[in-house]
Amino acid sequence: MIVHHIPVCPFSQRLEILLALKGKRDAVEFRVVDITRPREPEHLAKTGGSTALPVLETDDGVVLRESMVLLQFLEDSFPEPAIAEREPVRRAIENMFASMEGGFVSAGYRLVMNQDRGRREALHAKLDAQYAALDAFLVRYAPDRTFLFEDFGWAEAVYTSMFQRFWFLDYYEDYDIPNALARVRRYRDACVAHPAAQQVTREEIVKLYYDYAKNAGNGALVEGRARSSFVFEPHWSKRPWPPRDKYGVSATDAELGLS
Ligand SMILES: N[C@@H](CCC(=O)N[C@@H](CS)C(=O)NCC(=O)O)C(=O)O
């Protein structure tokens, strides 16, 4: 089977993490799509016009999308070792926790893309509330463990790539989880350090997501710029660190090492 993906996309990374946990990373071919270019007509024909990634093509040519659906599909396709909980109550707890990801992801992306200093405090508070909900859940169901259950598993495959993307909040927003939310801080720290989740680095995220910090998502161009921070060349490791002040400064292609 084939997964069409953007290497730095957190939704695709969920699949890579699950496969790494199963020792099956090589059972799926990952094909890279350049998000800064329009999708190829053949790609759009396959997806029925949808541009969002990841997209999975089964061996029979069926096209599937939505990362949570694809996670379950991979879990079902490669059942051993199971990563999702099998006991019904534990699986339900895991699903309740995973169902909180949508609001969490939106709050983080709204904050990184915000350009209005006046809304900053309210957006920080909204993300605090999301972390508080995760914290309360972990305190209730897993007070003495590190992860939701004994090992890094399904829930962690859902959240870890987002915790790593939110390194852009630390850099561009000076945002971190409030100290009072010690349980979810401990959870986040253990998740991002896990060996199965080392597909990206903080430096890569901060540099590639500069345009998100300027409110240009998904490979769109920031006004006055000719190149997206998501281009493959020059490689991110060769570029300077972007300015942290996203409200007062708009870096040029040259300042970002893109030209
Ligand atoms: N809900 C989708 C979100 C996927 C998504 O937003 N992917 C981004 C990349 S991180 C994307 O493909 N953006 C480009 C586009 O939508 O055209 C999922 O979970 O798979």
Strand-pairing partners, residue 4, are: 31, 55
pTM of the model: 0.97
Nearest CA to ligand 1 atom 19: 67
Please list the residue range(s) of the chain that carry CATH number 3.40.30.10.
Answer: 2-77
> How far, in Å, from the CA of 100 to the mean position of ligand 1?
18
Nearest CA to ligand 1 atom 16: 52
Report d(CA 8, CA 6) in Å as an integer: 6
Residue range 2-77, CATH number: 3.40.30.10
Count other Cβ atoms within 10 Å, centred on residue 25.
16
**pLDDT by position in tens, the chain (length 259):** 999 999 899 999 999 999 999 999 999 999 999 888 889 999 999 999 999 999 999 999 999 999 999 999 999 999 999 999 999 999 999 999 999 999 999 999 999 999 999 999 999 999 999 999 999 999 999 999 999 999 999 999 999 999 999 999 999 999 999 999 999 999 999 999 999 999 999 999 999 999 999 999 988 999 999 999 999 999 999 999 999 999 999 999 999 999 9
Is 88-197 a domain of CATH 1.10.238.10? no
- Cα separations in angstroms, 216 against 3, 85, 185, 210, 227: 25, 38, 29, 9, 12
Work out which ligand 1 atom sits closest to the CA atom of 53.
12
Please list the residue range(s) of the chain that carry CATH number 1.20.1050.10.
Answer: 88-197
Report d(CA 214, CA 173) in Å as an integer: 12
Report d(CA 20, CA 196) in Å as an integer: 6
> How far, in Å, from the CA of 50 to the mean position of ligand 1?
10
